[in-house]
Amino acid sequence: MSKGNANAAMIEAIMGASGCGKTTRLVQRLNKRKRKRTVIWSPKEAQDKYADLYPGTETVNTVADALRVMRAAGKGEFHLVFVPRLIRAQDEKQFSALCKIVTALENITFIADELHTVTKPSWSPDGWGQMVMMGRAYGIEIFGLSQRPSSVDKNFLGNLSSINVGRMAYEPDCKAVAPALGVPWAEVSKLTGHQWIERHILSGKITRG
């Protein structure tokens, strides 16, 4: 087993409609302990400003530049934000390549925002599928965020360590997360404002806020 991030190599989902507080809940989790190596896939970087999380974060939009930053760091600390171009076919290829690099380099916290833009319910890029399936063995901690969980790959949702869900108005989205949460989908549909439901899959504990 790898070291570093390996002690917290979890797969966590944070789902909910725009403005429900997903980014805030992610940052709260990240602030619980220091991450030394982070890669953030950030389609809405202009609004979310993940680059402000850690001093010295580098922002890139090509896989070559991402690889350059990570190689330069060696086994040391680095923080990287990847901003895709929102051209789906191109983004899917870049996302897959980035995931493969992260897995190979080990001991990294990987955050994929707007996951529905690069996966589908019955399909995901090869690199993402490999990371979800084998990432724990390489010390990869994964956070996946999305406004549209019904459009996210089921492989990710089926391998979670925990899931946090905020309000969602669309019935298929509520139904997509209900099995992982262990609550009726109607309860999810009743969430308002910044309310949320969370389930720790390993223990089965469900909390509400």
Written as six digits, the tokens of 118 are 């690069």
Domain containing 162 equals 4-208
Per-residue pLDDT reduced to its tens digit, 20-39? 999 999 999 999 999 999 99
| Predicted model pTM | 0.95
Positive or negative, the Cα torsion across 154, 40, 63, 78? Answer: negative
Query: Any residues with CB less than 8 A from the CB of 73 and at least 6 apart, and which?
Result: 37
Domain count, the chain: 1
Class of residue 65 by CB neighbours under 10 A (exposed 0-12, middle 13-18, buried 19+): middle
Per-residue pLDDT reduced to its tens digit, 147-199? 999 999 999 999 999 999 999 999 999 999 999 999 999 999 999 999 999 99
Return the ∠ at Cα 99 (arms to 93 and 103), rounded to 5°: 150
Per-residue pLDDT reduced to its tens digit, 54-107? 999 999 999 999 999 999 999 999 999 999 999 999 999 999 999 999 999 999
Detail the DSSP E strand segments found in 54-105.
58-60, 78-82
- Report the DSSP beta bridge partners of residue 199: 163, 206
**CATH code for the domain in which residue 131 is found:** 3.40.50.300
